[in-house]
């Protein structure tokens, strides 16, 4: 267990020269394809409502054929978070893999246009750029079906150690944990970060993903993670009990845990410190895709700027509220403009 300052590693807290990065994220580089469907569609196609399911290329084609007209927006869980951090004014970089095809060009364009450093070269062979087929039902719930494609080839060699060492926090996406080379990449990134005196943050991403790799998750969380993001079902899956049990256990495993509870906001635990943060009000709930990703964005943007944990949670709530008020998992407004009042207070 690593114990960071509770107020986050501010510009002068780390003892490092300011090399210019707040957060570097590692994850599945995906383009989202979103369509609106009736509830019956989810059942008829045998989808796992509200979850993320990995699918192969044949299934991706079959599901896409069955879906209605779509909208394509660059996505990927950690990529959404990193874009959110940049939108708050944070200095951010991303590590992920796309191919030299049209959707790969779209992914790279969009993340760079958001001000994120993204230097991984295009894969020139192998499967095409990964896609997440997202079915949005009338209740604004999203059901995700991911064809990983090129993104699944991420391994330790793709992790630029200098980039990781240069960032105050490295942010790891749980979804990547389905792939052994990516698990290796995470261990490498975690060691590099800690050797450089940096912090490691992780989101559990999905309770089914946690259950698929329970031992590997527990080992990584206990040994390497300083700052953990999870929702209720994910943290319960990790510790096997109810939410109160998990809350007790996680505080001995990680320095800070930010646990999100949908419309009930979040609970932040750091040793004996507990903060209960309400959700930010939303005029119209349109599409919950990216809610957790953007909560992490707001939290990390505040955290790496040296704000207290309650402020981190409040910024997380603000960013999550923005992203669920429209289609797609990337912010549509400059989040720094929304943050002003919170950070000034």
Stretch of 102-110, 261-269, 316-324, 335-343 lying at the interface with its own copies (CB under 8 A): 102-110
- The yes or no reply on residue 48 touching its own copies (CB under 8 A) is no
* Single residue of 42, 45, 51, 106 touching its own copies by CB under 8 A: 106
The yes or no reply on residue 103 touching its own copies (CB under 8 A) is yes
Selected range binding its own copies among 20-28, 69-77, 136-144, 206-214, rule: CB under 8 A = 69-77
Separation of alpha carbons 84 and 95, rounded Å: 15
User: For residues 286 and 305, what is the distance between their CA atoms, to the nearest angstrom?
Assistant: 30
Candidates 99-107, 233-241, 267-275, 307-315; binding stretch for its own copies (CB under 8 A): 99-107
CA angle 94, 97, 99 (to 5 degrees): 135
62 lies in the binding site for its own copies (CB under 8 A): no
Tokens of residue 190, six digits: 């975690």
- Return the residue of 22, 110, 226, 322 that touches its own copies, per CB under 8 A: 110
Q: Compute the C-alpha angle 79/80/84, nearest 5°.
A: 115
Among 111, 80, 293, 268, smallest CA distance to 203 is for 293
Q: Using CB under 8 A, pick the residue from 20, 68, 180, 271 that binds its own copies.
A: 68
CA angle 136, 138, 141 (to 5 degrees): 50
Q: Are 174 and 81 in contact (CB under 8 A)?
A: no
Terminal-residue alpha carbon distance, the chain: 32
Piece of the chain touching its own copies by CB under 8 A; list 72-80, 163-171, 221-229, 234-242: 72-80
Nearer to its own copies (CB atom), residue 94 or residue 239: 94
From the CB of 113, what's the least distance to its own copies, in Å? 5
Under the criterion CB under 8 A, does residue 65 sit at the interface with its own copies?
yes
From the list 3, 71, 214, 276, which residue makes contact with its own copies (rule: CB under 8 A)? Answer: 71
Stretch that binds its own copies, among 101-109, 198-206, 243-251, 288-296 (CB under 8 A): 101-109
Of positions 10, 51, 59, 72, contacts its own copies by CB under 8 A = 72
- Under rule CB under 8 A, residue 328 binds its own copies: yes
Q: If we measure between CA atoms, which residue out of 328, 331, 327, 326 comes closest to residue 316?
A: 331
11 binds its own copies (CB under 8 A): no
Number of residues forming the site for its own copies (CB under 8 A): 27
Residue 28 interacting with its own copies (CB under 8 A): no
Nearer to its own copies among residue 12 and residue 65 (C-beta)? 65
Pick the closer one to its own copies by CB: 274 or 333: 333
- According to the binding rule CB under 8 A, does residue 38 interact with its own copies? no
Question: Which residue ranges make up the site for its own copies (CB under 8 A)?
Answer: 35-36, 64-65, 67-74, 83, 101-103, 106, 109-111, 113-114, 128-129, 328, 330, 332
């Amino acid at each position: 267990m690593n114990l960071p300052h509770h107020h986050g590693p501010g510009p002068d807290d780390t003892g490092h020269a300011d090399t210019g990065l707040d957060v570097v994220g590692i994850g599945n580089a995906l383009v989202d394809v979103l369509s609106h469907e009736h509830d019956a569609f989810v059942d008829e196609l045998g989808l796992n409502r509200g979850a993320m399911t990995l699918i192969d290329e044949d299934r991706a084609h079959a599901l896409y054929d069955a879906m209605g007209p779509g909208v394509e927006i660059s996505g990927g869980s950690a990529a959404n978070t990193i874009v959110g951090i940049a939108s708050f004014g944070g200095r951010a970089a991303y590590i992920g893999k796309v191919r030299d095809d049209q959707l790969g060009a779209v992914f790279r364009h969009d993340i760079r246009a958001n001000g994120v450093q993204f230097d991984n070269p295009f894969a020139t062979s192998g499967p095409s750029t990964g896609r997440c087929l997202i079915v949005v039902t009338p209740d604004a719930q999203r059901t995700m079906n991911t064809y990983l494609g090129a993104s699944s080839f991420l391994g330790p060699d793709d992790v630029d150690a200098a980039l990781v060492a240069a960032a105050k926090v490295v942010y790891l996406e749980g979804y990547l944990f389905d792939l052994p080379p990516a698990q290796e990449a995470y261990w490498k990134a975690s060691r590099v970060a800690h050797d450089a005196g940096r912090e490691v943050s992780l989101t559990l991403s999905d309770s089914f993903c946690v259950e698929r790799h329970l031992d590997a998750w527990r080992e990584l969380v206990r040994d390497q993670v300083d700052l953990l993001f999870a929702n209720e079902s994910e943290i319960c899956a990790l510790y096997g009990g109810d939410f109160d049990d998990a809350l007790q256990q996680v505080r001995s495993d990680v320095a800070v845990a930010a646990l999100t509870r949908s419309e009930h906001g979040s609970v932040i635990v750091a040793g004996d410190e507990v903060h209960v943060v309400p959700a930010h009000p939303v005029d119209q709930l349109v599409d919950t895709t990216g809610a957790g990703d953007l909560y992490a964005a707001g939290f990390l943007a505040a955290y790496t700027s040296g704000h207290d944990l309650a402020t981190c949670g409040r910024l997380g709530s603000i960013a999550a509220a923005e992203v669920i008020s429209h289609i797609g998992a990337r912010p549509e407004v400059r989040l720094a403009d929304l943050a002003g009042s919170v950070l000034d207070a």
